[in-house]
Amino acid sequence: MTLAVTLRPRSSVALTDFAVRVLAGVVILLVWEVLARLWAPPFVARPSGIAQAFPVVLADPAFWVAAKATLGAVFYGLGIAFVIGTIIGVGIGRIRAIDRMTSIYISGFFAMPLTAILPLVSLWFGYTADARLATVVFACFFSIVTNVADGARAVPPDYIEVSRSFRGGALSRLFDVILPASVPYILAGLRLAAGRALIGAVVAEFFVSIPGLGFLILFQARSFKHNEAMVAVVLLACAGVLFEIALRQITARWLPWYRRGDTVG
């Protein structure tokens, strides 16, 4: 008795996955529309209203000014946190003394809610864009440090011994062994930090009331223009998705030796 195995082409599998995702999205939008029409007040956002509000909101120059302010702070703050957090994370992961001195504080700040630190940030930096940037850095810094430290600790000792046997110096071990071996942890921390950075920017704009998408969402929601507010929410979600796509492309282009393995999606 023989078993025949039929391999489906990769393109057909990708097309099927895409169709399933589109179908799931359509079902969610239909359920949202029906529930909003049946039970929600007229001002509550619904897919049909959001679709009508999209061209109006996107044609407003003030919307793009707000988007530039928010997303600019997100990427700038994420870059600062990534550089400093990677340096500190490697130090924590590879130097036991630094780990002992800082681990409890890193864990404490990582668990601290953003809303608890915002009053202090507004006092230190004022009600300006600097407060938003500081909040973004705070929001994503500790997730990067934690993941990079875990990655640096997880480097197999055999890798370090091989580097030493070839008379590799400290910088060689760092850039040729430790950082490449920590790539899965670094990417995980960067993905987590990106989401926290978006949250930090929006929450800071809520609290500090400075121009940006967060303040725009708050103003439109308080004006009972929920459809217009949801346009800004959709833009923030798209920014997160585009960041994930860009990160995957960079990984495939510049880190061809790194394979994430079999994942769903």
What local confidence, expressed as pLDDT, does residue 162 receive?
A: 84
Task: Give the whole-angstrom CA distance, residue 138 versus residue 200.
Answer: 8
Arithmetic mean of pLDDT over the chain: 85
In a domain, 217, yes or no: yes
pLDDT above 70 as % of the chain: 91
* CATH number for the domain harbouring residue 185: 1.10.3720.10
Note the pLDDT tens digit of each residue in 203-248: 999 888 888 999 999 999 888 989 999 999 999 999 988 998 888 8
On the question of pLDDT at 59 being above 60, the answer is yes
Confidence grade of residue 264 (pLDDT, cut at 50, 70, 90): very low
d(C-alpha 54, C-alpha 134), whole Å: 31
pLDDT at site 92: 92
26 domain residue, yes or no: no
Mean per-residue pLDDT, 57-75: 92
Residue 82 lies in a domain: yes
Per the domain annotation, does 22 fall within a domain? no
203: nearest Cα among 194, 213, 193: 213
Residue 44 is assigned to a structural domain of this protein:
no
262: in domain: no
Looking at the structure of the chain, the number of domains it has is 1
Residue-range definition of the domain harbouring residue 137: 49-254
pLDDT, greater one: 262 or 219: 219
Q: Does the residue 54 lie in any domain?
A: yes
| The amino acid at 261 | G
Tens of pLDDT, residue by residue over 14-25, are 667 778 888 888
DSSP class of residue 9 equals P
Task: Flag the least confident range among 27-36, 106-115, 192-201.
Answer: 106-115
Does residue 259 fall inside a structural domain? Answer: no
CA distance 123 to 131: 9
- Given a cut of 60, whether residue 253 has pLDDT beyond it is yes
Could you tell me the maximum CA-CA distance found in the chain, to the nearest angstrom? 77
Residue 91: closest CA among 111, 110, 106:
106
Average pLDDT value for residue range 77-106: 91
Short-list 59, 62, 60, CA closest to 70: 62
